[in-house]
Amino acid sequence: MKRILFLTLGLVSGLYAQAQATIADARALGVGQTVTIKGVVTNGSELGNIRYLQDATGGLAAFSATLSSVQRYDSITVTGTLLEFSGLLELSPVSSFTNHGAATVVPTPLQLPILSAAEIHESKLIQMQNVTFVQTGNFAAGNSTVQITNGTNTFDVRINGSTNIDGTAIPTGPLTVTGLLGQFNANYQIIPRDLNDLVAYVAPDKEINVLVNGNNVLNNSTLFVGGASVLNVSIQNLGTNSLSITGANFTGANTGDFSTTINASTVVGGASNPYTITFAPAGTGSRFATISIGNNDADENPFVINLEGVGTNNLATEPTSNPTGLTFPVIEAYTLSGQYTAGVGATKYIVLWKNGSAITGAPVDGTSYLRGDVVGDARVAYVGAGTGFTPRGIIANQNYYFKVYAFNGQGGFENYQTTAPATGNTTSLGQNIGNYYNGISSASTSLVTDLRTLINPHTQLTYFMYKQTMMNEFEVRDTTNGQSYVTCAYSGERKVFTDPFDWTPTGYSREHTFSHSWMPSFPADNPEEPEYTDQHHLYPTNLQGANSPRSNLPMDEITGIVEFTYLEGSVGYNGSQLVYEPRAAQKGNAARAIMYMAVCYNFPLNGNISSTVQNAQTLVNWHYADLPDNYEIARHEYIFDLQGNRNPFIDSVDFACHVNIDDNSYNACSISIEEKVDANLSVFPVPSNNNIYVQVNGTVISGYEIIDMNGKVVDQKASTNHDVLILNAADYSKGVYQIKVSTPYGEATRKLIIE
Give domain status of residue 8, yes or no.
no
Query: Which are the contacts of 179, defined by CB distance < 8 A and separation ≥ 6?
Result: 125, 126, 157, 190, 191, 192, 193, 197
Tell whether 493 and 578 lie within a shared domain. Answer: yes
Q: Is a pLDDT exceeding 80 seen at residue 678?
A: no
Q: 120 and 180 share a domain?
A: yes
DSSP state of 471: I
- Tell me what the pLDDT averaged over the chain comes to: 92
Confidence of residue 674 (pLDDT cuts 50, 70, 90): low
Give the separation between CA 268 and CA 574, rounded to whole angstroms: 81
Same domain? For 378 and 517 the reply is: no
Task: Give CA angle at 655 (653, 659), nearest 5°.
Answer: 140
The pTM score is 0.83
Which CATH number covers residue 224? 2.60.40.10
Residue 269: what pLDDT? Answer: 95
Bridge partners of 705? Answer: 716, 740
Q: Domain limits at 540?
A: 447-666
Judge whether residue 737 has pLDDT over 80: yes
> What CATH number should be reported for the domain holding residue 685?
2.60.40.3080
Residues 64 and 144 in one domain: no
Q: What is the DSSP string of 546-565?
A: IIHHHTTPPB----S-EEEE
pLDDT of res. 228: 97
CB distance 20 to 35 below 8 Å: yes
CATH of residue 86: 2.40.50.200
687/661 same-domain check? no
Per-residue pLDDT, averaged over 540-562, amounts to 96
| Residues 699-731: tens digit of each pLDDT | 778 888 999 877 788 898 886 777 788 899 889
Asked whether the beta carbons of 688 and 734 are under 8 A apart, the reply is no
* Spatial contact of 191 and 47, defined as CB atoms under 8 Å apart: yes
Residue 556 lies in a domain: yes
- Within a domain: residue 125? yes
Q: Is residue 10 part of a domain?
A: no
Same domain? For 550 and 582 the reply is yes
Q: Is residue 3 pLDDT above 70, yes or no?
A: no
Q: What is the rounded CA–CA span in Å between residue 117 and residue 188?
A: 7
E strand or H helix at 542, and its extent?
strand 538-542
From residue 430, alpha-carbon distances to 223, 281, 440, 627 in Å are 47, 55, 22, 15
In the chain, what percentage of residues exceed pLDDT 70?
A: 95
Asked whether the predicted pLDDT for residue 746 surpasses 80, the reply is no
Single-letter code of the amino acid located at 191: I
**Are 610 and 533 contained in the same domain?**
yes
Q: pLDDT band at 675, cuts 50/70/90?
A: low
> What domain count does the chain have?
6
Q: What is the pLDDT, as a whole number, of residue 676?
A: 63
C-alpha span between 511 and 537 (Å, rounded): 8
Last residue of a domain, one of 427, 457, 492: 427
| Burial classification of residue 41, based on how many CB atoms lie within 10 Å of its CB (0-12 exposed, 13-18 middle, 19 or more buried) | buried
Is residue 319 assigned to a domain?
A: no
| Edge-to-edge strands, sheet with 303-310 | 221-226, 303-310, 286-295, 243-251, 265-267
Question: Residue 121 sits in a domain of what CATH number?
Answer: 2.40.50.140
Q: With CA atoms as reference, report the closest residue to 582 among 566, 593, 598.
A: 566
Question: Would you say residue 12 lies in a domain?
Answer: no
pLDDT interval class at 29 (50, 70, 90): confident
User: What is the structure's pLDDT at 8?
Assistant: 37
Q: Are residues 575 and 649 in the same domain?
A: yes
Q: What is the pLDDT of residues 423-440, one digit of tens each?
A: 999 999 999 999 999 999
What pLDDT, on the 0 to 100 scale, is given for residue 672? 53
Question: Do 334 and 390 belong to one domain?
Answer: yes
Query: Which residue, of 67, 85, 102, is where some domain finishes?
Result: 102
What does the pLDDT average to over 369-376?
A: 97
Please check whether residue 9 lies inside any domain of the structure.
no
From CA 72, how far away is CA 67, in angstroms rounded?
11
Query: What local confidence, expressed as pLDDT, does residue 367 receive?
Result: 98
Are both 219 and 336 inside the same structural domain?
no
Supply the Cα-derived Rg of the chain in whole angstroms.
30
pLDDT digits (tens, 9 = 90+) for 280-325: 999 999 999 999 999 999 999 999 999 999 999 999 999 999 999 9
Segment 107-141, tens digit of pLDDT: 999 999 999 999 999 999 999 999 999 999 999 99
My answer on whether 153 and 279 are in the same domain is: no
433: in domain: no
Same domain, 632 and 508: yes
* Last residue within a domain, chosen from 102, 136, 156: 102
